[in-house]
Amino acid sequence: MTTTESTWDAHSQQREEMLRAAEHRVQEHPAPDIRQLQHIHDLKQQFRRLIEPGIMRHNNNENALLALKTLETLSSNLLREPENEKFQRFKPTNNAIKKRLVDVMGALEYAVAMGFHHKVENFQPLYVFNDRHLEELRIGNEILKETLTREAEKAARASHSKLPSVKEQQEIARQRVSFRFQNSSHRGTFLTPLLLAFPKPVKIQLQFHEDRLEKQERDKREAELRAAREAAGEVAPPTPTTASTSRIPTGGMTLSGHVEHTAEGPTRRVPYEDDDEDE
C-alpha cells in the first residue's frame, strides 16, 4: 500500500468516527418538538401572569417580594433534593408560611401551579408536592429567579437615581455653609445624617461645593466689614492728638542717682561709682 493510500484511509476513518459521534449526540439530545416548545412557552407565560399582575399588583412591594423569595426557596430546595420529604410539603398554619404565602394574595395560587396541592393528614391541612409536576416546578422556579433578579436590578437603579443632582448638591452645600456661619458652635452637624447615606464620590463633590461657598461667604463678610470700618472713619470726628513739647532725653541713671545722657539715644551703661566721693 502506498503512502497516499494510507493517508486516504486514515482520513476516511477519521471522518466516519466524526459522523458516528455526531449521530450519537443527536440521539442523546434530539431536537425539541415544536409542541413541547409551545407548551414550555405557555407555562412560562402562565407563571409570569401569576406574578404580574397576580402577586405584584395586589400586594405592597415588600410583601410581594417576600412571598416570591419564599416560593423560590421552597422550589429550589425541592429541586435540589426531590426525595427529601421535608421539602415536599409545607403547613399553611405555620406562622412564617401564613405571613409570607397564605396572607399574600396570589402566593398560594403560585405554589399550587408549581405542583403543591392541598391535602389533610391527621386533621392537619398541608400542601404536598405531586412529583408528576416536576416540569412545572422547574419552570416556576426559573420564572421566580428571573423576576427576583429583575426586581433587584430595578431597586438598584432606583437607589442610584435618588442621588442628588449637581444643583441639589449645591443647595445642600449652601444650606450647610449658611448654618455653619450662623451657628458656629454646631459646625459641621447640619444634614450630617443625610450626607452619611451618600457614596464617597458624592461626598467629595459636596465638600468641594462647601469649600467654594464658604470662601465666597468669608470674602463677602470681610469686604462688608472693611466697608463698615471705612465708613465709620469718614463720619466720626478725628480723634484729638496732643503733641508733646518736652522731649525726654535718652539716657540712664547711675547707682548714685546721676543721670547719664548719650548722644546716640540709647542708654549707655555707666561704670559703678563709689558713694564715698559724695561725702
From 182-191, 201-210, 217-226, the region with the lowest mean pLDDT? 182-191
When pLDDT is averaged across residues 156-167 and rounded to a whole number, the result is: 66
**In the chain, how many domains are there?**
2
pLDDT at 193: 46
Q: Which residue has the cell 466697608?
A: 227
The mean of the pLDDT values for the chain is: 74
From the number of C-beta atoms within 10 Å of its C-beta (0-12, 13-18, 19+), residue 205 rates as middle
When pLDDT is averaged across residues 63-84 and rounded to a whole number, the result is: 91
Helix (H) or strand (E) holding 172: helix 166-182
Residues 6+ apart with CB under 8 A from 121: none
Q: Is residue 6 a part of any domain in this protein? A: no
Please answer whether residues 256 and 275 qualify as being in contact, where contact means their C-beta atoms are separated by less than 8 angstroms.
yes
The x, y and z cell numbers of residue 153, run together, are 436590578
Q: Per-residue pLDDT for 9 more than 70?
A: no
> What is the DSSP secondary-structure string of 107-138?
HHHHHHHTTEEEEEETTEEEEEE-GGGHHHHH
Q: Which range is most confident: 52-61, 198-207, 238-247?
A: 52-61
pLDDT single digits (tens) 247-263: 555 555 554 555 555 55
What percentage of the chain has pLDDT greater than the value 90? Answer: 21
Do 82 and 193 share a structural domain? no
Q: Is residue 153 a part of any domain in this protein? A: yes
Domain containing residue 39: 34-161
Which of residues 227, 249, 267 is at a domain's end? Answer: 227
Q: Is residue 66 a part of any domain in this protein? A: yes
